[in-house]
Copies of this chain bind each other. A is one copy, B any other.
């Protein structure tokens, strides 16, 4: 009769600290045998971007969005005390001191734990992201798939 618990997180935010919170909760839940999904939408998609530049044919606006947004979690700013990029450096320094995993490490851990990383196809189109720009082993889906997961979820969060 033991039922698998489900955790479904929408990662909407493009902030380093919020992505960190999302992935710490997700990895924790997976460690406690939850079935875990992180649905990345809007600025949250940036966490899944590959590090370097990826060749892609894009329109003008899509190119601008692509340029202005951070390529990957490691380049994201903080939601508070960003201080023109000094905040993230300080945070990363204390994280290193305390042996806390970085967000890219947390994402890798999530993939190793079998957490389902979903990219919202609608906002991919909107912001002009192409699949080649994102990490491998990502699922592409929309609000219907999110709701199918979340309506049976135990822990649903919007971050």
User: For the complex, is A139 an interface residue (Cβ under 8 Å from B)?
Assistant: no
Q: Interface-forming stretch among A47-55, A107-115, A141-149?
A: A141-149
Whether B81 and A98, one on each chain, are in contact in the complex, defined by CB atoms closer than 8 angstroms, is no
Question: Given the complex, which residues of B lie within 8 Å of A37, measured CB to CB?
Answer: none
How far, in angstroms, from A7 to B147 measured CA to CA in the complex?
9
Question: Given the complex, which residues of B lie within 8 Å of A134, measured CB to CB?
Answer: none
CB distance from A41 to the nearest CB of B (A): 6
Whether A25 and B147, one on each chain, are in contact in the complex, defined by CB atoms closer than 8 angstroms, is yes
Known: A24-B143, A25-B147, A158-B157. A126 touches B42 (CB 8 A): no
- CB nearest neighbor in B for A46: B80
Known: A28-B147, A155-B156, A158-B159. A100 touches B122 (CB 8 A): yes
Whether B68 and A81, one on each chain, are in contact in the complex, defined by CB atoms closer than 8 angstroms, is yes
A 93-137 binary contact with B (CB < 8 Å = 1; else 0): 111011010000000000000000000001001111000000000
- CB nearest neighbor in B for A22: B158
Question: Given the complex, which residues of B lie within 8 Å of A88, measured CB to CB?
Answer: none
Question: Given the complex, which residues of B lie within 8 Å of A91, measured CB to CB?
Answer: 126
Nearest 4 interchain pairs by C-beta = A28-B143, A157-B158, A150-B155, A151-B154
Which residues of A are at the interface with B, using a C-beta cutoff of 8 A?
Answer: 5, 7, 10, 12-14, 17-18, 21, 24-25, 28-29, 32, 34, 41-43, 59, 61-62, 64-65, 68-69, 79-81, 90-91, 93-95, 97-98, 100, 122, 125-128, 143-144, 146-147, 150-159
